[in-house]
Amino acid sequence: MVAQTQDETRATTSRRRWWPASLDSTLLGLALVLIWEVGVRVGQVPVYLLPPPSTVLMRIVTDYRLLFMHTIVTVNEVLVGFGLAIAVSIPLAAILAQFRPLERALYPILVASQTIPKVAIAPLIVVWFGFGLFPKVLIAFLICFFPILIDALIGFRSTPKEVIWLARSMGAPRRRIFLNFQLPAALPHIFGGLKVASTLAVVGAVVGEFVASDRGLGYQLIVANGMLDVVLSFAILVVLSVVGILLFALVDLVERLLLPWHISHRSTGQERP
Amino acid sequence: MVATLQFRNVSKVYQTATGPIEALRDFDLDVGEGEFISIVGPSGCGKSTLLSMASGLAFPSSGTISVRGEPVTAPVTDLGIVFQTDVLLDWRTIIDNILIQPEMRGLDRNAFRPRALDLMKMVGLEGFEKKFPYELSGGMRQRVSICRALIHEPQLLLMDEPFGALDALTREQMVMELHQIWLETRKSVIFITHDIQEAVLLADRVIVMTPRPGRIAEIIKTDLPHPRRPATMETKRFVSVVAQIRHLFEKHGVLKSY
């Protein structure tokens, strides 16, 4: 009976498609790049306004040393800021979820603090903490902190009351209830927050570099813009987005490894025998 | 004989934002050792309140509840609970879902493994140890949650509409299986349901409840011979008990009379 249902689903989905789903977006992306390339060349758009993708690609190849050096700097800021946000947000969410009064007191303040744009306080942070690695890490941290906290909090709070009831009937102490029932159930939510935050971390680091820096992709972007070197600007944007995608993919991979049981990763989807 | 579970004039009033709600009034019941009690009543008759008080997670506004003569003041751990939803942990395999019971109690889980396998065999889940919950049907999942409720050999089994979410055929099958399990293990059971037939078929005594505030309308001894079979539902006694409960519900306005 199991085999039958699976065969049926497979039959309905595979009738018209034999290619992997990831190919769709790859093809679409390539098509867009192609339109861009052809459009720029046919329309004779000047390179200092919008360079064709092939020129940008060539620039990445020729300037790879420069780009690589700055990428290392930025990636370092991103990873430290992101890691710090994970290390602070998740435990904080766990504590808030355990103590309702604390949550009620702290939650509005956290939300209010989020209404202050990080970009606006970046100059202040530089005034306070100088030009080094720390202010960039701090901005990346501040920007990542909130989505992880909120999603983790939702995750920890969404344990059904029956589960808690069941756990208490087993005489389990609070710590064991948390580790065995609440934390695993919250992980899918937490990973949702981590994915959002992973892309924001790059934004945070670049904002930090914009304000005050002498290295990093954000710094190099300012320099390229100052020199009207649009091709280099585009090259940097490509590298930045690759960094963001890789970090996102890393989070996704860890999620797949940790949560093979979760509905979003089941190869055969929703169906049950 | 000391009752496994004893309710003495138990009442429960909840304070809500819109004023107090009386969920249960003067509930009085002794559940004997190895006795199967069905509680049947409309929604809002305080059934869930009863269960949460029996498991020591909520306490009566007045009256007392005691387990084997000891008043309940903290969560009761010598019991197994089966809910309407199976509440299996998606990230644990079937056997690990069953073994979480001894694990949480700080007992040696390997010592309980053979018993877990026996229970799985008893409910027809042999060979499913390494599967994950999402690979099982609703009926199978509920069987797992019954195994989990039995593995530590509790004296008392609380079941809150355990078959309410299952389709009619699976449901009938599960009722007979539960009866078989009960005959073999002879736990005290409190079985809450909306289904009159199910309640009568399984129970020694059926507690018929009134709408809110929940009170006992009547306690009916089923007096049906064991073991009970689907054919039991065609006997004169069964039909008359079911009719009697229907009349009670009509009298209390739970069911319309035509």
Chains A & B: contacts with CB separation below 8 Å: 66
Query: Chain B residues with CB inside 8 Å of A184's CB?
Result: 89, 91
Interface of A with B (CB under 8 A): 2, 160, 162-163, 165-172, 176-177, 180-181, 184-185, 259, 261-263, 266, 272-273
Which distant-in-sequence residues (6+ apart) come within 8 Å of B194 by Cβ?
A: B40, B41, B42, B43, B161, B164
* Cα→Cα distances B220→A188, B3, B78, Å: 48, 18, 27
How far is residue A63's CA from residue A135's CA, in Å, rounded to a whole number?
A: 28
* Cα→Cα distances B236→A62, B39, B184, B223, B224, Å: 93, 22, 26, 12, 10
Of B75, B133, B137, which has the smallest distance from its Cβ to A169's Cβ? Answer: B75
Spatial contact of B176 and B10, defined as CB atoms under 8 Å apart: no
Amino acid at A93: A
- Residue A207 CB-half CA count within 13 A: 23
pLDDT tens across B205-221, in order?
Answer: 999 988 878 888 889 99
For residue B2, which of B73, B71, B74, B75 has the smallest C-alpha distance? B71
Longest dimension (CA), chain A: 75
Of A176, A184, A262, which has the smallest distance from its Cβ to B104's Cβ? Answer: A176
Query: Chain A residues with CB inside 8 Å of B100's CB?
Result: 170, 180
pLDDT tens across A147-206, in order?
Answer: 999 999 999 988 888 888 889 888 888 888 888 999 998 999 999 999 999 999 999 999
How far is residue B223's CA from residue B24's CA, in Å, rounded to a whole number?
A: 27
A224 Cα to chain B: minimum distance (Å): 50
- Residue A16 binned pLDDT confidence (cut-offs 50, 70, 90): low
Answer whether B55 sits within 8 Å of A165, measured CB to CB.
Answer: yes
Query: Chain A residues with CB inside 8 Å of B136's CB?
Result: 272-273
pLDDT for res A82: 95
How far is residue B132's CA from residue B136's CA, in Å, rounded to a whole number?
A: 7
Answer whether B132 sits within 8 Å of A261, measured CB to CB.
Answer: yes
Q: Is the peptide bond before B227 cis (omega within 30 degrees of 0)?
A: yes
Each of the 258 residues of chain B gets a pLDDT tens digit; together they read 567 888 988 888 888 888 888 888 888 999 988 899 999 988 777 888 888 888 888 888 888 898 888 888 888 888 899 988 889 998 999 999 999 999 888 888 888 999 899 888 888 888 898 899 988 888 889 889 989 998 988 888 999 988 888 888 888 888 898 898 898 888 899 999 988 989 999 999 999 988 878 888 889 998 888 888 888 888 999 899 999 999 888 888 777 766
ipTM of model: 0.83
Query: Chain B residues with CB inside 8 Å of A163's CB?
Result: 87
Segment A42-70 shows an average pLDDT of: 91
- Per-residue pLDDT at A269 exceeds 60: no
How far is residue B257's CA from residue B232's CA, in Å, rounded to a whole number?
A: 26
Q: Edge-to-edge strands of the sheet including B188-193?
A: B79-82, B156-160, B188-193, B36-40, B205-209, B216-221
Which top CATH class is A64-265?
Answer: mainly alpha
Q: What are phi and psi of A34, to 5 degrees?
A: -65, -45
Spatial contact of B252 and B217, defined as CB atoms under 8 Å apart: yes
Amino acid at B30: D
Measured between its terminal Cα atoms, the distance across chain B in Å is 44
Q: What is the DSSP letter of B127?
A: T
User: Does B134 contact A at CB distance below 8 Å?
Assistant: yes
pLDDT for res A2: 42
pLDDT for res B2: 65
How far is residue A238's CA from residue B78's CA, in Å, rounded to a whole number?
A: 62
For residue A1, which of B121, B140, B176 has the smallest C-alpha distance? B140
